[in-house]
Amino acid sequence: MAEEAKKDWSPAIQAAIDSGATTLYFPRLEKENYEMQDTVVVRGSVRRIIGMENGIVTGAGFAGTEKPAFRFEDGESPVVVFERFNNTYGNIAKYTFEQATKRTLVLKNLAYSGYRNTVPGGKVFLEDFCGDRLDFDRQKVWARQLNPEAKSDHADSFNIRNRGGDLWILNLKTEGPRSVVETSAGGRTEVLGGYFYPSRGSDKGAAAFEVKDGKLSASYTNQHGIFEPQVRVTAGGKTSQAGRVDVPPRKYATKVPLITAE
């Protein structure tokens, strides 16, 4: 790709993907970000995309739409790796990634990135991943060092949704005001180690975990003043909840060695 700054890098990125290459890297832009105005489709021969710590900015072309920045579709490689990008503040696109294929997707070393899948039944691995709007629909998900931070000023913002899938997380941290994980439709969620930090407070009545006809197993620490109740469970038309007073008390935080719900 040419290295000169552009207002819309989408056509150049798409051309590089469709060139037949298996590995793409983004040349370092010292004073600019890669700005995109339209969706780029990852397909064909590509199996690895390396950002070299560049920033991605989604511009006005995404305003008022549901378009993702990158859509992953069927291609030659059974696994696609996308890594080392920093999505800067001010992005307009709701979702950076859309997985429209059952082939495995690996997302790592990424900041401020949203995800959704439109084709159920695939696998996604996330490592060292920061961003809100992680929407998993009947997916198998493995995550390590996950940091969702939902925006308080976005009415449709959320952290993590697991609808009918299997979600496993090792080390989960969040600062946003929304519930951390919502599990529904028979989904199963396991969290091994978490820290929920009240940098911006939480929505009144928001539970750290919402379980709606699903299953949860979690161990974590919840800083006082952010989530109450800890877990809210809805099953068979009945709702119950566990609050801070129901788990071992600590001076500055609620430490939950293990809680299960279904």
> What percent of the chain has pLDDT above 90?
61
When pLDDT is cut at 50, 70 and 90, the band that residue 134 belongs to is: very high
Segment 89-109 shows an average pLDDT of 92
Phi, psi angle pair for 26, to nearest 5°: -100, 115
CA 162 to CA 154: how far, in whole Å?
20
Q: Is the pLDDT of residue 57 over 50?
A: yes
Question: Does some domain include residue 220?
Answer: yes
Amino acid at the residue 243 = G
Whether residue 137 lies inside any domain: the answer is yes
pTM: 0.91
Point out the least confidently predicted range of 46-50, 127-131, 191-195, 237-241.
237-241
pLDDT of residue 226: 72
> What DSSP letter does each residue of 191-246 carry, written as one string?
EEEEEE--SS---TT--SEEEESSEEEEEEEEETTS-SSSEEEEETTEEEEE-GGG
Q: How large a percentage of the chain has pLDDT more than 70? A: 87
| Spatial separation of the C-alpha atoms in residues 196 and 205, rounded to whole Å | 15
- pLDDT tens column, 169-213: 999 998 877 889 999 999 999 999 998 876 666 667 788 899 999
Within-domain flag for 35: no
Backbone angles phi, psi at 247, to 5 degrees: -125, 165
pLDDT surpasses 50 at 56? yes
Q: By three-state DSSP, how is residue 141 classified?
A: strand
Total domain count, the chain: 1
Indicate the average pLDDT of the chain: 88
Say what the pLDDT of residue 248 is: 61
Whether 6 maps to a domain, the answer reads no
**pLDDT of 260 strictly over 90:** no
| 91 band by pLDDT with thresholds 50, 70 and 90 | confident
The tokens describing 208, both together, are 């750290």
Q: Would you say residue 87 has pLDDT above 80?
A: no
b/e for 119-128, b at 16 or more Cβ within 10 A?
Answer: beebbbbbbb
211, part of any domain: yes
Q: With a cut of 60, say whether residue 6 has pLDDT above it.
A: no
At residue 41, the pLDDT reads 98
Q: Does 11 map to a domain?
A: no
Kindly tell me if the per-residue pLDDT of 43 is higher than 50: yes
Residue at 229 is within a domain: yes
Domain holding 195, by residue range, is 47-54+73-92+100-261
Any domain includes 207: yes
pLDDT at 35: 94
Least confident range of 79-83, 189-193, 197-201, 245-249: 245-249
Mean pLDDT, rounded, for 138-151: 93
